Amino acid sequence: MGMGELASLRPLLAAMRGKKLLVVGDLYLDCYIFGLPARVSREAPIMVLEETRREERPGGGTAPALVARALGAEAWQAGVIGNDAEGQRLRQMLADQGVDVSGVLTDPTRPTTTKTRLVAEGVYNVFPQQVARVDRQDRRPIDPAIARSLASFVEATAPEVDAILLSDYRSGVIVPEVIAAAARSGRLATVDSQGSLADFRGLGLVKCNQAEAESYLGEPLGDPERRREHLTALRARLECERLVVTLGPAGAALAEANGAYHEVPPLVRRQVFDVTGAGDTVIAVMSLALAAGADALAALRLSQVAAGLVVGKWGNAQATAEEIEAALDEMESSRGWHD
């Protein structure tokens, strides 16, 4: 990437502030129990942690909304929680971060999804280390009446926002009624798919990772030339305007309806501590950038800068606009960026 392309990212970041994003997704409450490694248990060959603290954070399909808020955009969150204390805490945490939660619906027949992590930390751990995770969730599709209410919320809110982002964590919320409401909204509709790519035909942007693309295609993406062939064909099959596939340490690939194809390497050199939230960052930044009028390649480049910052943090973290601006400063001075 030359200096001209780099220079265009700063005004794009500014243009994203104040944009309005509706995120519809599977809502999780991430719970963390931190402890110091004390000894090996006498009951089983497992580590005993002496608890030091507990934390709770919004997780799952809430992440893109939090990314939007960190970048100065407005965010609406839609999804489903249970009629329980965990759901109420999750709703309040989102509201406390400035997210509009009027689209967070309650379904008394299912629990709020919670993911509880046991985390070891201490003198020898530079970053906390997960030891185990316990999930409580119901992956069945949401009740048809709830699905209709959620789709109605998407339709009613669409005129107020610039883009609608579907965050599919395969926990039953992103059902056909919701997808259809986003697709016919008249707004930019994007999706971060962890499920069946075929469910998301015709959207403005479909994003998945390499493993998901290979699973759908039934074969490896291969070398760069084969990747281009595979992903150009995959975009055509999905009938989407843009397809982005994240490639782990290789960056990300972009295929567009106009035939353009690009691969963007990681643009920020940071030690990778935790990849949690990197994909959410890519889809949120790209959705906001496209809504702000960016071309897809510039949007992808900016998302790669943001994702490169996030992987240097621990947990479901976000990169702020100020952090991205500082990274762009470093890149402009030729430190820590790829030409």
Catalytically active residues are 280
Q: Measured on CA atoms in the order 30, 34, 37, 42, is the torsion positive or negative?
A: negative
> Could you tell me if 198 and 181 are in contact, meaning their C-beta atoms sit under 8 angstroms apart?
no
User: Which of 59, 58, 51, 30 lies closest to 121, judged by CA?
Assistant: 51
Q: Measured on CA atoms in the order 307, 308, 312, 318, is the torsion positive or negative?
A: negative
Look up residue 129 and give its DSSP letter. E
Angle in degrees, CA 168, 173, 178, rounded to 5: 90
Within a 10 A sphere around the Cβ of 224, how many other Cβ atoms? Answer: 12
Rg of the chain (C-alpha set): 20
User: Which of 300, 277, 69 lies closest to 77, judged by CA?
Assistant: 69
Residue 205, classed as helix, strand or coil, is strand
C-alpha distances in Å from residue 35, one per residue of 14, 106, 118, 126, 128 = 41, 33, 8, 14, 9
Burial 6-28 (b: 16+ CB within 10 A, else e): beebeebbeebeebbbbbbbbbb
Helix then strand then coil, % of the chain, to nearest 5: 40, 30, 30
Q: Which amino acid is at 144?
A: P
